[in-house]
């Protein structure tokens, strides 16, 4: 492909998101109410969460599995909602105060004075409630003018979870609605962490969000530090009332998918998620799938072993491969060849 004079790849002039066609000139403008650079526009169509071989896509599917297995009342799943949202959706609908720092041009990417690149998936809570959804998961790319380090990137992915309870659900418990929802929320997220990681060191921290009360954050011990992986809480009544849920109580959470994937796959730096190197984006590939006459199925996988620190020796790879085979045999109950 052709390169610009400065050596960088040319930026696409238009892309399609959630069925909406978006031109570069609609998002990146020489205008005082716009602060979206080309480097951010070029991330808009990437949709890492929709790639089943990418660590973010694998994680999304593993979380879906947990909710499908544990809730008879199915969660409605959305992963294609447009990341361009109104200031009202991103902030007003979730009660972010008019003078809150997150609204500033310094923190949020503004397309114009009324339109932003969503800075969290909570931007979709109100519309989905109004559409009558009571159990839902929203996955998507979110954008913040954060400075980059090993756990922060200006584009990352979140999964929002939302669950509405009607009075019958908590009345029998003897608890008030808020305590009931808070207890259920923590149980749900601790169960999710066990489903994803097995044993992992974690702790709950009291937090503040304008849209929940009480609010919590979950931290996981990773690479000798506590890392915040999600925010959550019991939804403010005003949000439920404003969107057609009069007597209900609800919980909500927002997961940082990169951070959870870092723990799951032992990925040392968030910048790696944007690597185009196939050894990162599809480390495990099913290359053959065969069923014999007796009905036994054989799978052949290609695995790319790679270290960020050094080139691996054959001995090191053999040892890793031995561990993978051992785990596959005991956990998946298969016969190795």
User: Which residues of this chain interact with ligand FA5, rule CB under 6 A?
Assistant: 120, 122, 144, 146, 152-153, 156, 158, 160, 209, 211-212, 215, 228-233, 252-254, 256, 258-259, 270
Q: Which does 281 bind (CB under 5 to 8 A by kind): Mg ion, ligand FA5, none?
A: none
* Residues 60, 79 contacting (CB under 8 angstroms): yes
Judged by CB, which is closer to Mg ion: 48, or 229?
229
Residue 323 contacts by C-beta under 8 Å, 6 or more apart in sequence?
none
Judged by CB, which is closer to ligand FA5: 108, or 212?
212
* Residues 117, 123 contacting (CB under 8 angstroms): no
Least distance to Mg ion, CB of residue 102, Å:
11
Torsion angles phi and psi, residue 305, rounded to 5? -95, 130
Least distance to Mg ion, CB of residue 80, Å:
25
Cα separation of 337 and 334, whole Å? Answer: 10
Least distance to Mg ion, CB of residue 256, Å:
8
Judged by CB, which is closer to Mg ion: 9, or 101?
101
Q: Which does 245 bind (CB under 5 to 8 A by kind): Mg ion, ligand FA5, none?
A: none
List the interface residues with Mg ion, window 215-234 (CB under 5 A).
Answer: 231
Least distance to ligand FA5, CB of residue 147, Å:
9
Least distance to ligand FA5, CB of residue 325, Å:
33
Least distance to Mg ion, CB of residue 217, Å:
6
Judged by CB, which is closer to Mg ion: 140, or 254?
254
Q: Which does 239 bind (CB under 5 to 8 A by kind): ligand FA5, Mg ion, none?
A: none
Torsion angles phi and psi, residue 155, rounded to 5? -125, 130
259 bridge partner residues: none
Least distance to ligand FA5, CB of residue 334, Å:
34
Using H for helix, E for strand and C for coil, what is the string for the chain? Answer: CCCCCCCCCCCCCEEEECCEEEEHHHHCCCCCCCCCCHHHHCCCCCCHHHCCCCHHHHHHHHHHHHHHHHCCCCCEEECCCCCEEEHHHHCHHHCCCCCCHHHCCCCCCEEECCEEECCCHHHHHHHHHHCCCCEEEEEEEEECCCCCECCECCEEEEEEEEEEECHHHHHCCCCCHHHHHHHHHHHHHHHHHHHHHCCCCEEEEEEEECCEEEEEEEEEEECCEEEEEEEEEEECHHHHHHCCCCCCEEEEEEEEHHHHHHHHHCCCCHHHHHCCCHHHHCCEEEEEEEECCCCCEEEEEEECCCCCCCCCCHHHHHHHHHHHHHHHHHHHCCCCC
Least distance to ligand FA5, CB of residue 301, Å:
30
Judged by CB, which is closer to ligand FA5: 24, or 271?
271
Least distance to ligand FA5, CB of residue 321, Å:
32
Q: Which does 258 bind (CB under 5 to 8 A by kind): Mg ion, ligand FA5, none?
A: ligand FA5
| Contact code string over 9-48 relative to Mg ion, x by CB under 5 A | ----------------------------------------
Judged by CB, which is closer to ligand FA5: 160, or 184?
160
Q: Which does 128 bind (CB under 5 to 8 A by kind): Mg ion, ligand FA5, none?
A: none
What residue number has its CB nearest to ligand FA5?
256
Tokens of 170: 């908590």
* Residues 275, 261 contacting (CB under 8 angstroms): no
Judged by CB, which is closer to ligand FA5: 104, or 307?
104
Judged by CB, which is closer to ligand FA5: 85, or 252?
252
Q: Which does 252 bind (CB under 5 to 8 A by kind): Mg ion, ligand FA5, none?
A: ligand FA5
Contact footprint for Mg ion (CB under 5 A): 231
């Amino acid at each position: 492909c052709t390169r610009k004079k400065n050596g960088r790849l040319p930026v696409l002039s238009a892309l399609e998101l959630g069925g909406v066609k978006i031109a570069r000139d609609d998002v990146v403008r020489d205008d005082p109410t716009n602060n979206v650079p080309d480097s951010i526009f070029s991330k808009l169509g990437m949709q890492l969460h929709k790639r089943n071989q990418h660590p973010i896509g694998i994680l999304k599917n593993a979380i879906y599995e947990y909710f499908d297995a544990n809730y008879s009342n199915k969660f409605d799943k959305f992963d294609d909602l447009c990341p361009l949202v109104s200031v009202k959706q991103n902030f007003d609908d979730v009660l972010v105060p008019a003078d809150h720092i997150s609204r500033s041009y310094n923190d949020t990417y503004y397309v114009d004075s009324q339109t932003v690149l969503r800075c969290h998936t909570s931007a979709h809570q109100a519309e989905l409630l109004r559409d009558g959804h009571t159990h839902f998961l929203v996955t998507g790319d979110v954008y913040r003018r954060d400075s980059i380090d090993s756990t922060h990137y200006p584009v990352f992915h979140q999964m929002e979870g939302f669950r509405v309870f009607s009075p019958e659900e908590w009345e029998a418990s003897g608890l008030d609605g808020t305590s009931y929802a808070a207890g259920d929320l923590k149980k749900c997220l601790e169960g999710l962490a066990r489903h994803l990681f097995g044993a992992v060191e974690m702790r709950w921290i009291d937090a503040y969000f304008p849209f929940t009360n009480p609010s919590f954050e979950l931290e996981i011990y990773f690479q000798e530090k506590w890392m915040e992986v999600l925010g959550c809480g019991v939804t403010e009544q005003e949000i439920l009332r404003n969107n057609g849920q009069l007597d209900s109580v609800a919980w909500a959470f927002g997961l940082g998918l990169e951070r959870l994937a870092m723990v799951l796959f032992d990925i040392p730096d968030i910048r790696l998620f944007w690597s185009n190197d196939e050894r990162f984006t599809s480390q495990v590939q099913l290359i053959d799938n065969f069923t014999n006459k007796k009905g036994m199925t054989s799978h052949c996988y290609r695995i790319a072993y790679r270290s960020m620190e050094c080139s691996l020796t054959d001995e090191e790879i053999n040892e890793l491969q031995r561990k993978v085979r051992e785990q596959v045999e005991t956990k998946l109950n298969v016969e190795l060849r």
